[in-house]
Structure 1
Amino acid sequence: MSLKKETPLDIKLHAAAANGDMLTIIQLLNTGRVHIDCKDNENTTPLILATANGHLDVVKLLLDHGAKISASRFTGTTALFFAAQGGFLDIVKLLISRGAIINSLSYDGATPFFVSCQCGYYEIARLLFNNGAVINGKLNDGSSPLFIAAQNGHIKIVHMLLKLGCEVDDRRNDMTTPLWIASQMGHVDIVKILLKYNANVDAERIDGATPLFKACHKGHVTVVEELLKYKPNLNLLQNGESVLHAAIIGGHFQIIKLLLQSGANYRLKNQDGFSALDFAIESKFENIRDYFYRIHKFN
């Protein structure tokens, strides 16, 4: 379906809404020649533009003049979505008070609540929850609000979601858990919280990699230290490697020492028949080669 072509007055109204130009908006609306919900080529209305740019007074003005609060872009994103995404708490409050749809969905499955968690806006997330937001919804790829908050390091939101009863080991379509993604990103404080809520320390992604494997591969020392307190798997994983192999490949000397102190077996061979010792001997990192020469000599 083709959209009605924008008129010059439509374009002016859109620009005024985006820029927070109250006087121009009033003048344009008073002409009676421009529709308050006129749309651009992405189906964006003046209300959505004013909201996305944080212009509270303009949002109120447009709503008072009958702007459609549920209007959405072709992506499914509404004014409330953009208010939540932008962190505009006062606008979120206004839109809710005027009857905005709390759980409206974007094309990829996101809601205003989801995007508030993604961006780290705790007060907005809490407000949306108190007004009926679904907290366990998922994107098309299976990401939950807890997953995305853990990925982005939003500790306060992670804690809130867990207290509200979100499943700590909820998996994305590729079987990745919040603990896995927090470990990969190096968010040690979030790793600590998830583990205290009994997250599965050995939850594997579809390729067989565990949270510890990714932390070792990425070189996140403090995350590795925390995960090791929960007795994770140090043997061969479903991906055919061990966490020690991963640490050696990455050249993460401190992590290698931590793993060996925790009982990792450097003689364990991977799916291709190479041990961690073999990897170390061939390593480009001199300190790793020397270290393994010494420990192998005395064992």
Structure 2
Amino acid sequence: MRDGVPSAPQTLAAVGALAVVAAAGAGLPLLSRAVSSEARLASPQVEASLKDVRVSLFRAVANGDSANALRLVHAVQQSHNGAERLLQLFSSRNGAGHTVLIQAAKRDMPELCRFLLDEAGADVNQRDVNGKTALETAATSGFESVTRLFLERGADSESKDKALIVAAHFGHLAVMKTLLQHGANARFANKNGTTALMRASQRGMLVEAQLLLEKGAEVWTANVRGCGLSAKLTLDLYAEKEMLMVWL
């Protein structure tokens, strides 16, 4: 082990211990006295092994190593009480307060996210320590395919609306279109009164702002700082109507 991270042999041993318990739970013959001894110690050993697997899984996801991450979760799934252990695994958080699903969304790993949601029972609306969902995480980075996956798996309306604001802020047009197609509210304002249109306008994103206006976004709104649309964008959008600026 180095800096608290299990080595490859340790991880393989952890996965092996889980496999031993899987065999025992399935009534398969154990091939040696040593294995039988491990089986008798299954409960505490698997608990320790699961901790090692958790560390290795977060490391694999952080590195974008989808194949290795999937191997690890498959091993846990096939172990004795695999479903219960998967829930323990996916409810845990790394040092940044992220779950495996949110970390996978951050790294744009659709295959792993799909497995976590469809086979492992992960909650699409789980939040990190800052209250941010996997959908919002994907939208922040502009990952359209993962965004679509979370929407199709039941992301809630609040998450959709917040994701639209961050996507508008960063100019992720494809993500914005996908969110709006799945019911995100172009008029939604967060707790500070900020809307997606404000974010797009403040950054001079004309195409994104036009999309939001087409979907019913309100121009005459103000957030807690009293800021509405920027003068530059208002001139671009409404020069023909002689609407010069909106500062409320």
1:11 — aligned with what? 4
Specify whether residues 88 and 79 from structure 1 end up closer, same or farther in structure 2 by C-alpha distance, changes over 3 A only: same
Q: Following superposition of structure 1 onto structure 2, how do residues 244-259 of structure 1 map, counting pairs within 5 Å?
A: none
Specify whether residues 154 and 113 from structure 1 end up closer, same or farther in structure 2 by C-alpha distance, changes over 3 A only: same
Distance 1:191 1:234 in 2: 15
Specify whether residues 234 and 155 from structure 1 end up closer, same or farther in structure 2 by C-alpha distance, changes over 3 A only: closer
2:131 — aligned with what? 109
RMSD, matched Cα: 3.0
Specify whether residues 201 and 53 from structure 1 end up closer, same or farther in structure 2 by C-alpha distance, changes over 3 A only: same
Structure 1 or 2: more helix by fraction: 2
Q: Are residues 1:226 and 2:237 paired? A: yes
2:81 — aligned with what? none
Question: Does the 8 Å CA contact 1:175/1:205 hold for their aligned counterparts?
Answer: yes
Specify whether residues 201 and 26 from structure 1 end up closer, same or farther in structure 2 by C-alpha distance, changes over 3 A only: same
Question: Does the 8 Å CA contact 2:169/2:200 hold for their aligned counterparts?
Answer: yes
Q: Give me the TM-score of the superposition, normalised by structure 2.
A: 0.72
Q: Following superposition of structure 1 onto structure 2, how do residues 78-89 of structure 1 map, counting pairs within 5 Å?
A: 78-89=99-110
Question: Does the 8 Å CA contact 2:186/2:217 hold for their aligned counterparts?
Answer: yes
Distance 1:201 1:228 in 2: 14
Q: Match for 2:208: what amino acid?
A: I
- Unaligned residue ranges in structure 1 (runs of 5+): 1-7, 239-299
Q: Match for 1:36: what amino acid?
A: S
Question: Does the 8 Å CA contact 2:238/2:244 hold for their aligned counterparts?
Answer: no
Distance 2:122 2:57 in 1: 12
SS at match of 1:11: coil
Question: Does the 8 Å CA contact 1:212/1:232 hold for their aligned counterparts?
Answer: no
2:190 — aligned with what? 172
1:72 — aligned with what? 93
Specify whether residues 86 and 229 from structure 1 end up closer, same or farther in structure 2 by C-alpha distance, changes over 3 A only: farther
Distance 1:109 1:230 in 2: 41
1:191 — aligned with what? 209
1:181 — aligned with what? 199
Match of 2:69 among 59, 62, 67: 59
Specify whether residues 27 and 153 from structure 1 end up closer, same or farther in structure 2 by C-alpha distance, changes over 3 A only: same
Q: Are residues 1:26 and 2:47 paired? A: no
Match of 1:119 among 135, 141, 148: 141
Shift in Å, 1:38: 2.4
**How high is the sequence identity, in percent, across the aligned residues?**
22
1:258 — aligned with what? none
Shift in Å, 1:57: 2.4
Aligned residues: 209
Q: Following superposition of structure 1 onto structure 2, how do residues 122-137 of structure 1 map, counting pairs within 5 Å?
A: 122-137=144-159
Question: Does the 8 Å CA contact 2:15/2:72 hold for their aligned counterparts?
Answer: no
Q: Are residues 1:99 and 2:121 paired? A: yes
Specify whether residues 231 and 74 from structure 1 end up closer, same or farther in structure 2 by C-alpha distance, changes over 3 A only: farther
Question: Does the 8 Å CA contact 2:187/2:217 hold for their aligned counterparts?
Answer: yes
Shift in Å, 1:71: 2.0
Specify whether residues 108 and 129 from structure 1 end up closer, same or farther in structure 2 by C-alpha distance, changes over 3 A only: same
Match of 2:180 among 144, 162, 168: 162
Distance 2:67 2:10 in 1: 13
Question: Does the 8 Å CA contact 1:117/1:157 hold for their aligned counterparts?
Answer: yes
Question: Does the 8 Å CA contact 1:36/1:62 hold for their aligned counterparts?
Answer: no
